[in-house]
Amino acid sequence: MSLVAGLDLGTQSIKLVVYDPASRQVLATQGRALDLIAGDDGSREQHPSDWLDAIRACFAAVDPALRARIAALGVSGQQHGFVPLDAEGQVLAPAKLWCDTSTSAQCAPIMDAVGGVAACIAQAGNPILAGYTASKLPWTKIHRPEVYAKLAAIALPHDYVNSWLTGARWMEHGDASGTGWLDVRTRTWSSALLQATDPERDLSACLPPLVEADALFPVRPEIAAELGLSPQLRVSTGGGDNMMAAIGTGCVVPGRLAMSLGTSGTLFAYSDTPVVSDSGAWAAFCDSTGGWLPLICTMNCTVATEQVARMFGFATREGDAHIDATAPGASGLTLLPFFNGERTPDLPLGRGVLTGLTAHNMDAAHLYRAAMEGATYSLKYGFDAFVSAGMAFDRVVLTGGGANSAAWRQLVADVFALPVDVPVQGEGAAFGAALQALWALGRAQGDATSMAALAAAHVATDPARACTPEPRRAPAYRAAYRRFTDHLDAVRPLYAAPAA
């Protein structure tokens, strides 16, 4: 039986899973760390060549016999990144990433050019937020004019990897939603927003064609040989990491809320119609199955706990003991964990804020709890916007590195007052990319199985890691969350974005 594979190009690492649909088992998992180029101006960049080197290393570590059996491959990629390419497809500069806030000053002018935030949402369904691809273009024009002058093609990170694998250029609707240029209601590029980004240039000429979610492309023979793959392998459209995680967690039917606790934190829910916020309270994205994916994103999730663990010299795997040793609310300690700026709440120039220090709570355990709670409260802030819009959920499906923490799983159940499930396959985005490849391959062979049915068959949850809310903790968490939002309101004016 043929195998399928999924690659996830994340901020911190590349991950590869090889999946056997017949036995419903992951047969191989590999990962390689990536370096991040960080600047004091908020810039966060990576060299695309490092992505390719990591992919090569991941495949090289897999048994050649397994590699030869892979029939289809899907690629998941960190959203919003900007890979500038010249006319020959060569990279012109490091890729600016989703967590890059150096372009914050370029957001408002784009929106102003179409009539403001409300007009921007009316045009495309989303405002232009810090991190979205659109603001990276005028930044590049100002700060890297020689790169902008040679720019012939715009690629998102997963687009770039797909092009390397296949020699073809395309973009799918889910990842394209995060550029800021896609009208998510019609699934077409907004000419008004492209012109607002650069009125002196036709940026649409730099964008690849949009394709449907079930498209397949042949691998380049030389890449197949280099990676030890079958020359008959097909590459699926892939998508943004959130869209692939939605598939990998089974979030492809209405009513299920998925939460990813990774470098960034995300909440997303499937819809079969566009779900647009008039105020821009959430991202109104398309998904990568033909539906839509209203999404909340925070820019600081496991980053917060990792920073505290590093400061006190312990590993995050030891962090649960600190949570168990402290009470909900961290004895009055509150951390606004905006180390990379923040998207939810919308404070791209925000910084971490620690308040409520006393002689009693100024220790590693309380600060670690405050970091975990703060990252969770940021997600709760976005969840409240979903609920206020009438969305309802009966449980949370948890994925990402933070889901490995029993304490964090219970914290989510308690703060959100919902039961928590955790999929058996921990690499939600890479596994989702593999499932999308399986779905697309099946459709190409005449199998009409829906993505919902396929996910139901292959996405299993682990009963040993399920959690239910503890009602006795609810009052303490409600009080701590109110304290979090009070401090947020107090510091918000300090981090307002300046004019361009």
Active site residues: 241
Residue 10 has a CB neighbour count (10 Å cut-off) of 24
Asked if 248 and 194 count as a contact pair (C-beta separation under 8 A), the reply is no
HEC secondary structure over 346-365 = CECCCCCEEECCCCCCCCHH
Q: Cα separation of 410 and 469, whole Å?
A: 7
Can you read off the two tokens belonging to residue 126?
Answer: 């989303």
| CA-based nearest residue to 416, from 473, 351, 493, 459 | 473
Q: Cα separation of 294 and 89, whole Å?
A: 33
CA–centroid distance for 45 within its chain: 16
C-alpha angle 167-1-247 in degrees, rounded to nearest 5: 60
Asked if 119 and 166 count as a contact pair (C-beta separation under 8 A), the reply is no
H or E stretch including 20?
strand 13-20
Asked if 288 and 239 count as a contact pair (C-beta separation under 8 A), the reply is yes
Q: Cα separation of 181 and 84, whole Å?
A: 16
Residue type, position 289, single letter: T
Can you read off the two tokens belonging to residue 284?
Answer: 């109104």
Write the DSSP assignment of 237-298 as a string of letters: --EEHHHHHHHHTT--STT-EEEEESSSEEEEE-BSS----TT--SEEEE-SSSSEEEEEEE
H and E: helices and strands count for the chain: 18, 24
- Antiparallel, parallel or unpaired: β 265-269 and 292-298: antiparallel
Q: Cα separation of 137 and 109, whole Å?
A: 12
| DSSP letter assigned to residue 12 | S
Residue 318 has a CB neighbour count (10 Å cut-off) of 11
Assign 159 to helix, strand or coil.
helix
Query: What's the Cα-to-Cα distance from 253 to each of 60, 202, 394, rounded to whole Å?
Result: 36, 38, 13
